[in-house]
Amino acid sequence: MNINLEHIYRADQMKKNEPLKDYLYTKMGGEADVLVIPDTYEQVAKTVQYANLHNVPYMILGNGSNLIIKDGGIEGIVILLTKLDQISNEGNIIIAQSGARIIDVSRYALDFSLTGLEFACGIPGTVGGAVYMNAGAYGGEIKDVLESIIAVDRDGNVIKVNAEDLGLNYRTSNVPDNGYIVLEATFKLTEGDPALIKEVMDDLTFKRESKQPLEYPSCGSVFKRPPGYFAGKLIQDSNLQGVSIGDAEVSKKHAGFIINKGNATATDYIALIHHVQKTVKEKFGVELEREVRIIGRD
Ligand SMILES: Cc1cc2nc3c(=O)[nH]c(=O)nc-3n(C[C@H](O)[C@H](O)[C@H](O)COP(=O)(O)OP(=O)(O)OC[C@H]3O[C@@H](n4cnc5c(N)ncnc54)[C@H](O)[C@@H]3O)c2cc1C
């Protein structure tokens, strides 16, 4: 596939046949035909226009913490947004570019004594990735604090969309259905007591560190919470903890996580996901729906 983006990007912003492993929290998966790293909204919009004109597929990458890219890699253009990472505020309104880490936005809110984003202090994704799946934890979710986004639509136009029009629900939004690329998010927070905000964040960090296998690459909770159950408990009760395929292993610390012990391939990881789903279905009759997205060539 002939992809020519030199009129949009500087040489240092474009890489051909680039291994994506190093950009992904999971530390596995194949190459991108072309990886681009925009630092302006205009570059993102122009990339979409180029892709439409030349019929080239494209996809968006944040921090790769909710994504498994198959070992055959990604056809077309991968747009990595982590250089769009500015955060600012006006009073209790925080504006964060989509590639900023949601953890940093949460810390920024603490610096300005703003409450509402404490729940996000340990979620290792970007703002865009967090909006995409209405990320949440410990009783809070993006939906509670998001006011609007700036996005590039399918036609390459930069538009504003209000939060209520984003279909934000449990770990889902209509961002993928609409083909939006989130460029920026506006959060409405409330003034709070910095000591209390910090106390909540420290407590959540402690809970996370004691329960989750953060010393290994992973994609966090692999499965959504099935109605009436907890995915981790079903997996634990199926005696799956410690089961591995290659270097992919069902975590012994948190059954809802599958860790990469070092050299797991995406193929190993996906095979283990299927094994877990099959075993839980056989034992408890419950279908585990994936929270993590799997994309790319086999
Ligand atoms: C250790 C660990 C703990 C976790 N804990 C939690 C948790 O408590 N709660 C929770 O909700 N999640 C959690 N996650 C999952 C993950 O961190 C979140 O889903 C996060 O929001 C994903 O963001 P990302 O930037 O990594 O997205 P990526 O994995 O890069 O992308 C995920 C999807 O979003 C799309 N996307 C990314 N950015 C944009 C954008 N700007 N515009 C349009 N589409 C975009 C991608 O194309 C892809 O389809 C955890 C993950 C790990 C590894």
Instruction: Kindly give the distance from the C-alpha atom of residue 133 to the centroid of ligand 1, in angstroms, as a whole number.
Output: 7
Q: What's 89's DSSP letter?
A: E
Residue 1: per-residue pLDDT? 75
Dihedrals φ, ψ of 171, to 5°? Answer: 55, 35
Angle at which helix 194-211 crosses helix 102-111, to 10 degrees, equals 150
Phi-psi region of 113 (alpha: psi -120 to 50; beta: other; left: phi over 0): left
Residue in 211, 2, 201 with CA at minimum distance from that of residue 114:
201
Q: What's 287's DSSP letter?
A: P
Dihedrals φ, ψ of 149, to 5°? Answer: -130, 160
State which of 60, 66, 219, 251 you would mutate to test the pocket of ligand 1, scoring each by most atoms of that ligand within 8 A of its C-beta: 66
Rounded Cα distance between 16 and 61, Å, is 16
Rounded Cα distance between 127 and 183, Å, is 9
Residue 110: per-residue pLDDT? 98
Residue 2: per-residue pLDDT? 87
144: helix, strand or coil: helix
Phi-psi region of 184 (alpha: psi -120 to 50; beta: other; left: phi over 0): beta
Instruction: Kindly give the distance from the C-alpha atom of residue 130 to the centroid of ligand 1, in angstroms, as a whole number.
Output: 5
State which of 65, 174, 177, 183 you would mutate to test the pocket of ligand 1, scoring each by most atoms of that ligand within 8 A of its C-beta: 65
Instruction: Kindly give the distance from the C-alpha atom of residue 62 to the centroid of ligand 1, in angstroms, as a whole number.
Output: 7
Rounded Cα distance between 184 and 97, Å, is 4
Dihedrals φ, ψ of 285, to 5°? Answer: 70, 15
Regarding the beta carbon of 66 and ligand 1, being less than 6 Å apart is answered yes
Write down the pTM of the prediction. Answer: 0.96
Which residue has a Cα nearest atom 2 of ligand 1?
Answer: 220
Q: Judging by beta carbons within 10 Å of its beta carbon (0-12, 13-18, 19+), is residue 27 exposed, middle or buried?
A: middle
pLDDT tens for the 298 residues of the chain, in order: 789 999 999 999 999 999 999 999 999 999 999 999 999 999 999 999 999 999 999 999 999 999 999 999 999 999 999 999 999 999 999 999 999 999 999 999 999 999 999 999 999 999 999 999 999 999 999 999 999 999 999 999 999 999 999 999 999 999 999 999 999 999 999 999 999 999 999 999 999 999 999 999 999 999 999 999 999 999 999 999 999 999 999 999 999 999 999 999 999 999 999 999 999 999 999 999 999 999 999 9
- For residue 143, what are its two tokens? 């939906």
Rounded Cα distance between 295 and 298, Å, is 9
The alpha carbon of residue 111 and the mean position of all alpha carbons in its chain are separated, in whole angstroms, by 24
CB-CB contact of 126 with 132 (8 Å): no
